[in-house]
Amino acid sequence: RARRMNAEHYSAMAMILSGIAVFLMSTVLNMRAWYGRYNIEVPATLFKMNATLAWILQESPVLVWCVYSYVHANPACRGSPANVVLLFFLAAHYFNRTCIYPLLIRGGKKTPVEVMLLAFGFCVWNGYNQTTWLMQSHVYGAEWVNDFRFVGGLILAATGMAINVHSDHILRNLRKPGETGYRVPQGGMFELVSGANFLGEIIEWTGFAIAQWSLVGFAFAFFTASFIGPRGYHHHQYYLRKFDNYPKHRRAIIPFIL
């Protein structure tokens, strides 16, 4: 068990270093992940696939890990209310990302297979880290459910999830059936930032990391912010270039600041 915990900590540190690398590539080198509006930058030699299928395949590993880890859990972990609540929150997010969100996509551009495989690989890696921590390695005591970090973290995580899901709804309904272009999003947190969906997910996993209070949870939150934070900034710059009447008071990813 100690060896497993050490392995998870090494894996979490590797994820943090990967997050730093991704952040530097996105900011210093100005690189963008080749999906969505940045598909036009994809080399013609790359294979592409249906966006709905890509989302289902790339997000599904975490959901599979959640089910597998619960079935084969350490009895002490499965008997801990905090462990189970955290696992079910993780599963709820990825159930939406695997089974609901992809089926609601309207006019999504095809996704490069290489991008899908990278996302799939990350979900395999992170799904293993999170579920192994929650269902094998660490047992939260009964008192943890009353701890302000657990309660406050879950409230923050649920708030972030709500912002993320609502923002996705707004983006989806900007397009009429058959449309593929981009319009200025209005409503919700989009009144404050251009990357409201990204802000919601950053808040969500920050709250999840606080509720977990572990290096494994922090690594996930850190990597998420390092990857989609710069993407929100790139979206903001895209909107400013494309729309002359884009609201000047909006920030990119952090309300009133950045």
Average pLDDT over residues 229-241: 87
**pLDDT of res. 44:** 53
* Distance from C-alpha of 133 to C-alpha of 180, rounded to nearest angstrom: 41
**What mean pLDDT is reported for the chain?**
88
Dmax over CA atoms of the chain, in Å, equals 59
Say if residue 113's pLDDT is above 60.
Answer: yes
* Distance from C-alpha of 219 to C-alpha of 225, rounded to nearest angstrom: 10
Q: How confident is the model at residue 3 (pLDDT cuts 50, 70, 90)?
A: low
Average pLDDT over residues 240-253: 86
* Distance from C-alpha of 24 to C-alpha of 172, rounded to nearest angstrom: 30
**pLDDT of res. 224:** 96
**pLDDT of res. 249:** 87
Residue pair 129/221 in contact by the 8 Å Cβ criterion? no
List, as one string, the DSSP characters of 43-60: -TTS-EE-HHHHHHHHHH
Q: Compare 3 and 127 and report the one with higher pLDDT.
A: 127
**pLDDT of res. 46:** 66
**pLDDT of res. 153:** 98
* Most confident segment among 169-173, 193-197, 202-206, 230-234: 202-206
Mean pLDDT lowest for which of 6-20, 167-181, 199-213? Answer: 167-181
**pLDDT of res. 33:** 54
Residue pair 196/253 in contact by the 8 Å Cβ criterion? no
User: What is the Cβ-side half-sphere exposure of residue 189, based on CA atoms within 13 angstroms?
Assistant: 27
| Digit-coded pLDDT (tens) for 61-98 | 999 999 999 999 999 999 999 999 999 999 999 999 99
Q: How confident is the model at residue 7 (pLDDT cuts 50, 70, 90)?
A: confident
* Distance from C-alpha of 141 to C-alpha of 82, rounded to nearest angstrom: 8
Q: How confident is the model at residue 5 (pLDDT cuts 50, 70, 90)?
A: low
Average pLDDT over residues 160-189: 84
| Digit-coded pLDDT (tens) for 31-66 | 665 455 554 554 555 688 888 999 999 999 999 999
* Distance from C-alpha of 137 to C-alpha of 119, rounded to nearest angstrom: 25
Q: Which residues contact 219 (CB under 8 A, 6 or more apart)?
A: 11, 12, 13, 15, 16, 19, 129
List, as one string, the DSSP characters of 71-122: HT--HHHHT-HHHHHHHHHHHHHHHIIIIIGGGG--SPPPEEHHHHHHHHHH
